[in-house]
Structure 1
Amino acid sequence: MRHGRAAPAALVALIALIVLAPAAPAAEAVVTVQGANAVEVVDLDQGRVVASIPVPGSPAGVALSPDRNTAYVTRPDGPGVAVIDLSARRVTGLVPLPGGPLGIGVNPVSGAVYVADWYAARVFVLVPRDGALILDGEIAVGASPSGIAVIPDGTRMLVANREDDSVSLVDLGTRRETARMKVGHHPFGLTLDANGSYAYTANVTGNDVSVIDVAAGRETARVKTGERPYVVALAGGRGFVTDQYGNTVTVFDVATLAPLKTIDVGDHPEGIAASPDGRQVYVANWGSNTVSVIDAGAMTVMREIKVADGPRAFGDFVR
């Protein structure tokens, strides 16, 4: 005697897929810890360091490849760039460079890597080729270039020139600066919105953020921050700015530029980045050797994650 009906074959197959499908990879932060000469991988779901990768040369800046599987890390005291396979958790290459490599960005279309030389008015161009990263020229920009951001379609790049109080707009096809926009005093971190329409520079000695209309090629406004702003992250229609000397994060409304809140974080916050879904913001605290996790909606600190000495995480470090 049969009791009920057998499950349809399609339903059985679907259940099997759900049961056997691998779990989604954990969200991770790739944090340069300069004092420890290492890059630490932080599992953001577990709230702990799951790998420490030795990187000589005082690692500082970080950027991720378009597929998010490779990290490129600047080594100011190398000097040069380290290439890290994030799946294997190891350095696969060290690219020597002259000067003082610090800021770094990646072209989301071509995969080219751009490295700002802090000691000269130039950005190095490195291209992936035959499994290696090859130096392929340089681009002239303003004095002491730092933060780098590439327009999502991969055609243009913006560079914050700290000692020139300006931002360079670069055509990546011709590798030439096409405009130089004046901003506040000593711009350092530079962040683009999702469609590349507006850029935000943290002006270190101006204690403010410049808002740049990229299409118009000019600064349109400034937003006051705490003392010594470092870089901006965008999440949920808000800007989050690390204030190095204030031990805080200043929050403002992106649409109105109105101040919203000041959040206490760790000592000397530097790098900051949002999760892909915009729900959390992560702050590397240089002085307290922690990463603060902020609820972007509530604008409150959820927890602190311990890391090694001197976290900077200047750049794109969350995947």
Structure 2
Amino acid sequence: MHRKRILSIVAVLALTALLLLPGSLPAFADGGAPNLAYVAGTARGISVIDVAQQRVTKTINMPGNPHTILLSKDASLLYVTQPEVDRISVIGAKEGKTICTTDIPGQPSHLVIDPSTGLIYTGGKGASGVREVDPKTCTVQRTFETNGPVYGMAIARTSSSLTHSANQLWISTDRELEIFDTSKGSQLGPVPIAGNPQYISIPPGSTAYVTTRAGSIVAVDISTHKVVQVIAGGKYGSMDYDETTGEIYVPEQEKNRLLVLAPVIPGFEMPREPNRVINIGVQPQSVAITSDGLLGFVALEGGNVAMLDVPGRTITNTIFVGGQPNFIITGLYPPLVGAPAQQEPIWGTLVSITSYVLIAALIIVPVLLFLRRRRMHYRLPDIEFTPSTVTKHQYTTPSETNASAEE
């Protein structure tokens, strides 16, 4: 009974350590199985859609026509660009309260996050250069100088511990893509793009997809920077990708539909594009596909958001949000216990220490139990010698033995 109780305690400690250990239950910025969709550019700034209820359950009042929204890894914070007031803000996702802000010149409307460092990068079409910002303090760390205004950005996940390489920051400027090493800050070479590059989408793999302001989509090999045209003849909005299939979803604004592009793999024959088409009926502005590949959300002209059944390839519902929605991101519910950005390092340290103490206990307790059981198994019984226990038969002399034999 005692042993079962100890094992139960050990099991509880193991579960608690796994729950507290940083990174044990990650929530990604683009969702997974999402609970919420955050929509920028709505009537009051940001509208929050509960996916299960399929309705707006909260609004966050924000000035400056919020444009791009990103989520922190644990879904507790929103990072928001406000181009009309030259600002980006960090907001608590649960309460909707502003934690910190920083002024950024040039109407910052684009925003990306480096998943390896947690730093965010922002820029806009009103000025050249991209600013690297620490979202914990809302301070600008450095500026990546560009040859013109910024029309789009994305992060290529090229970091590797084996090659000691970092992720890459891809930036659309007037006539080219400018690519930087996010660790060293060094430029990895401009890539000229005919037709003026705009939106960039980089799924896991070896290819980046770029729309142009002249009405085409090109694929760029991340390693060699070779450019091939995928499709042309349209006006395209902000793209997203299905992480489970590698397909790219592109709003084709003039024809009120989504194009679904098959993955372009360097070294293989170009697929026939588009792979398929999903008619929307209203001009789409941007699209977000959840990372489980089951749902899509499309920002529509006129203040609506369409919910897309990705495997079924159909629109299942339309939700009114007002304003002119221009960007959507999905994610999990904010954690019940959270902390402002300035307190995150302390909170994270305490959680880490607690987790490691529990893990140490998990290692030490079974060892002590094993040693105790082994000691009990091999322990010899104690014999207490007293005069009463010493008998004549036990201690006899040789003469006594012979006399006994003669009798």
Q: Which has the higher contact order (CA 8 A, sep 6+)?
A: 2
Residues 117 and 124 of structure 1 are in contact (CA less than 8 Å); yes or no, is this contact kept in structure 2?
no
Match of 2:78 in 1: 71
Residues 72 and 78 of structure 2 are in contact (CA less than 8 Å); yes or no, is this contact kept in structure 1?
yes
> 2 CA distance for matches of 1:210 and 1:111?
29
Encode CA deviations 1:106-146: one digit per residue, 9 max, x unaligned: 111111110013122210111134xx211122101242212
Matches within 5 A, 1:292-303: 292-303=306-317
Residues 105 and 127 of structure 2 are in contact (CA less than 8 Å); yes or no, is this contact kept in structure 1?
no
**Is residue 125 of structure 2 the alignment partner of residue 111 of structure 1?**
no
Residue among 43, 46, 57 paired with 1:50: 57
Encode CA deviations 1:153-190: one digit per residue, 9 max, x unaligned: 352111122x22x2111111222322111224232221
Residues 103 and 115 of structure 1 are in contact (CA less than 8 Å); yes or no, is this contact kept in structure 2?
yes
Q: Are residues 73 and 99 of structure 1, via their aligned partners in 2, closer, same or farther at CA, if it must alter by over 3 Å?
A: same
> 2 CA distance for matches of 1:27 and 1:183?
38
Match of 1:159 in 2: 171
Q: Are residues 150 and 67 of structure 1, via their aligned partners in 2, closer, same or farther at CA, if it must alter by over 3 Å?
A: farther
Residue among 144, 151, 166 paired with 1:146: 151
Q: Which amino acid is 1:122 matched to?
A: G
The count of corresponding residues between Structure 1 and Structure 2 is: 291
Matches within 5 A, 1:216-231: 216-219=224-227, 221-224=228-231, 227-231=234-238
Match of 2:259 in 1: 250
Compare CA radii of gyration and give the structure with the larger one: 2
Q: Are residues 112 and 62 of structure 1, via their aligned partners in 2, closer, same or farther at CA, if it must alter by over 3 Å?
A: same
Which piece of structure 1 moves more, 45-54 or 24-33? 24-33
Unaligned runs of 5+ in 1: 1-8, 18-23
Q: Which amino acid is 1:233 matched to?
A: D
Encode CA deviations 1:187-244: one digit per residue, 9 max, x unaligned: 222111124x2111122322x211111011231x222256310122212342210122
> 2 CA distance for matches of 1:300 and 1:142?
42
> 2 CA distance for matches of 1:89 and 1:244?
32
Q: Which amino acid is 1:245 matched to?
A: E
Match of 1:21 in 2: none
Residues 168 and 180 of structure 2 are in contact (CA less than 8 Å); yes or no, is this contact kept in structure 1?
yes
> 2 CA distance for matches of 1:238 and 1:274?
10
Residues 121 and 132 of structure 2 are in contact (CA less than 8 Å); yes or no, is this contact kept in structure 1?
yes
Unaligned runs of 5+ in 2: 1-6, 16-31, 160-165, 265-270, 332-407
Task: Give the secondary structure class of the aligned counterpart of 1:60.
Answer: coil
Q: Which amino acid is 1:156 matched to?
A: Q
> 2 CA distance for matches of 1:59 and 1:226?
30
**Is residue 219 of structure 2 the alignment partner of residue 211 of structure 1?**
yes
Task: Give the secondary structure class of the aligned counterpart of 2:224.
Answer: coil
Report the CA distance between 1:82 and its aligned residue.
1.7
Match of 1:277 in 2: 292
Q: Are residues 224 and 55 of structure 1, via their aligned partners in 2, closer, same or farther at CA, if it must alter by over 3 Å?
A: same
Task: Give the secondary structure class of the aligned counterpart of 1:229.
Answer: coil
> 1 CA distance for matches of 2:234 and 2:192?
21
> 2 CA distance for matches of 1:229 and 1:144?
19
> 1 CA distance for matches of 2:181 and 2:129?
14
**Is residue 138 of structure 2 the alignment partner of residue 133 of structure 1?**
yes
**Is residue 317 of structure 2 the alignment partner of residue 310 of structure 1?**
no
**Is residue 323 of structure 2 the alignment partner of residue 290 of structure 1?**
no
> 1 CA distance for matches of 2:233 and 2:279?
11
Task: Give the secondary structure class of the aligned counterpart of 1:140.
Answer: strand
Structure with greater proportional helix content: 2
**Is residue 186 of structure 2 the alignment partner of residue 176 of structure 1?**
yes
Residue among 267, 270, 275 paired with 2:282: 267
Structure with greater proportional strand content: 1
> 2 CA distance for matches of 1:265 and 1:46?
22
Q: Are residues 222 and 44 of structure 1, via their aligned partners in 2, closer, same or farther at CA, if it must alter by over 3 Å?
A: farther
Q: Are residues 134 and 184 of structure 1, via their aligned partners in 2, closer, same or farther at CA, if it must alter by over 3 Å?
A: same
Q: After the TM superposition, which parts of structure 1 deviate over 4 Å for at least 4 consecutive aligned residues? A: none
Instruction: Give identity over the alignment, percent.
Output: 22
> 1 CA distance for matches of 2:241 and 2:93?
25
> 2 CA distance for matches of 1:27 and 1:204?
34
